[in-house]
Amino acid sequence: MLNIGVLISGSGSNLQSLIDACALDDFPVNIKVVICNKHDAYGIQRAKDAGIETVCISHKDYSDREAFDRQMHHVLEDREVEFVCLAGFMRLLSPWFAQQWHNKMVNIHPSLLPSFKGINAQQQALDYGVKIAGCTLHFVRSEMDTGPIILQAAVEVKSDDTFETLRDRILEQEHRIYVQGLKMIASGQVKVDGDQLVYQ
Amino acid sequence: MLNIGVLISGSGSNLQSLIDACALDDFPVNIKVVICNKHDAYGIQRAKDAGIETVCISHKDYSDREAFDRQMHHVLEDREVEFVCLAGFMRLLSPWFAQQWHNKMVNIHPSLLPSFKGINAQQQALDYGVKIAGCTLHFVRSEMDTGPIILQAAVEVKSDDTFETLRDRILEQEHRIYVQGLKMIASGQVKVDGDQLVYQ
């Protein structure tokens, strides 16, 4: 079993898909702790409902980014977390934290990277006028929305799509590839060599 | 019927798919001329085999990019071409030519734009490690590989893909969306308003 910590900032729908997967017999992952930087995020309730420990750490209580990250790191180490899953965590991570969890931290991003990095990727895609959007599960590097890609999924953009309809269609695929990709990692099917994903 | 000119530099496999589509009763497009900047390109033979006029214009015979483009433009006007299709045409176009054919010229690019502009897009995709590649049919603007997108197609990247296998898998989709997109344009299903594709 791979012991993971999940970092969230919001409603935690990707967290929910991980919780649901962990309830299955053949999913070799155990969620040890959910860390949230917003005390009123709905994702906290999802974790509590599943009997998972939640820790709120407000970035406002820390003088700088790394001090905040060190507190998260302390919690993760204390709970013997081996692997970190970002799931709608809306804080940039310090290079120090990225280094601590190098090749042991993944993020899901709602675009086909390298297109549309940063916030509101779905709106960026609509504004650009792409006909294929999607999502990316990737290992985290200190530069935002970069790092070896584990899985991607493509989603058709429809001519009457709004931000909400596209976001929701992409989100379904995020849930799917997050669970699938995390299982590949936990079962040792994929590893990272340098910045290359290697299949075992 | 929409009278088109096709610009090529190489083997012309996308030209071939357009030739094949034009042979169908319900495809409202007529290829008036194929212009090629390389006298030994295999695409010339494809055009000749289909009974289409071919014109070779070597860029080496012209002092600058625009002079070369003005000669191509002269040929296109002379043959009463209404719409230009780039199909593996490996020359950057002058702003003057792009303006002459504004919203009347399309290009096919072997990536999911805006990712991987420029040459060897398939290799760029492999090097980046994306799991979804693809191709884009778009109206041409003077800035390379930009312009309103008509259609895109996604293609899975496999762990054992080489440049050749990925290129060929993308190429199948290029043929498909080029024909489909050109039909949408010729039949008036789509137009461009500013830089937005509009469905009629």
Beta strands A132-139; A105-109: pairing state: antiparallel
Report the residue from B128, B131, B134 with minimal CB separation from A114.
B128
Taking phi first (over 0 means left), then psi (-120 to 50 degrees means alpha), and beta for anything else, what does residue B151 get?
A: beta
d(CA A117, CA A110): 9
Of residues A98, A83, A75, A99, the one with CA closest to residue A31: A83
**CB contacts < 8 A (A, B):** 56
Q: Which residues of B touch A154 (CB under 8 A)?
A: 132, 134, 154
Mean pLDDT of B95-114: 98
Q: Tell me the longest C-alpha to C-alpha distance in chain A.
A: 49
Report the residue from B113, B115, B159 with minimal CB separation from A199.
B159
Its CATH class, for the domain covering A2-199, is alpha beta
What mean pLDDT is reported for chain A?
97
Mean pLDDT of B80-98: 96
Mean pLDDT of A46-51: 97
Report the residue from A114, A149, A196 with minimal CB separation from B131.
A149
Whether residues B153 and A132 touch (CB distance < 8 A) is answered with yes
Q: Which residues of A touch B150 (CB under 8 A)?
A: 131
Mean pLDDT of B12-17: 97
Give B155-177 as a DSSP string: EEPPTT--HHHHHHHHHHHHHHH
A87 Cβ contact partners less than 8 Å away, ≥ 6 residues apart: A6, A7, A8, A12, A14, A15, A18, A43, A108, A178
ipTM over 0.85: yes
Residues of B with a catalytic annotation lie at 109
Q: What is the pLDDT of residue A78?
A: 98
Residue A157 φ then ψ, to 5°: -95, 125
With cut-offs at 50, 70 and 90, classify the pLDDT of residue B192. Answer: very high
Whether residues B196 and A153 touch (CB distance < 8 A) is answered with no
Mean pLDDT of B27-43: 96
Check if B131 contacts A (Cβ < 8 Å): yes
With cut-offs at 50, 70 and 90, classify the pLDDT of residue A20. Answer: very high
How many angstroms away from the CA of B197 is the closest CA of chain A?
8
Q: What is the pLDDT of residue A12?
A: 95
B168 Cβ contact partners less than 8 Å away, ≥ 6 residues apart: none
Q: For residue B166, how far is the Cα from the chain centroid? A: 19
Mean pLDDT of A32-47: 96
Mean pLDDT of B75-91: 97
Residue for token digits 């599960």? A137
With cut-offs at 50, 70 and 90, classify the pLDDT of residue A156. Answer: very high
Q: What is the pLDDT of residue B39?
A: 92
* pTM score, whole prediction: 0.95
Check if B149 contacts A (Cβ < 8 Å): yes
- What are the domain boundaries of chain A? 2-199
- pLDDT above 70 covers a percentage of chain A that reads 100
Mean pLDDT of A27-46: 96
Whether residues A195 and B129 touch (CB distance < 8 A) is answered with yes
| DSSP secondary structure code for residue A176 in this structure | H
Mean pLDDT of B104-115: 98
Please state, in angstroms and as integers, the Cα–Cα distance from residue B26 to each residue in B73, B185, B187, B188, following that order.
Answer: 28, 14, 10, 14
Q: Are B130 and B167 in contact (CB under 8 A)?
A: no
B100 Cβ contact partners less than 8 Å away, ≥ 6 residues apart: B73
Q: Which residues of A touch B148 (CB under 8 A)?
A: 129
Q: What is the pLDDT of residue A145?
A: 96
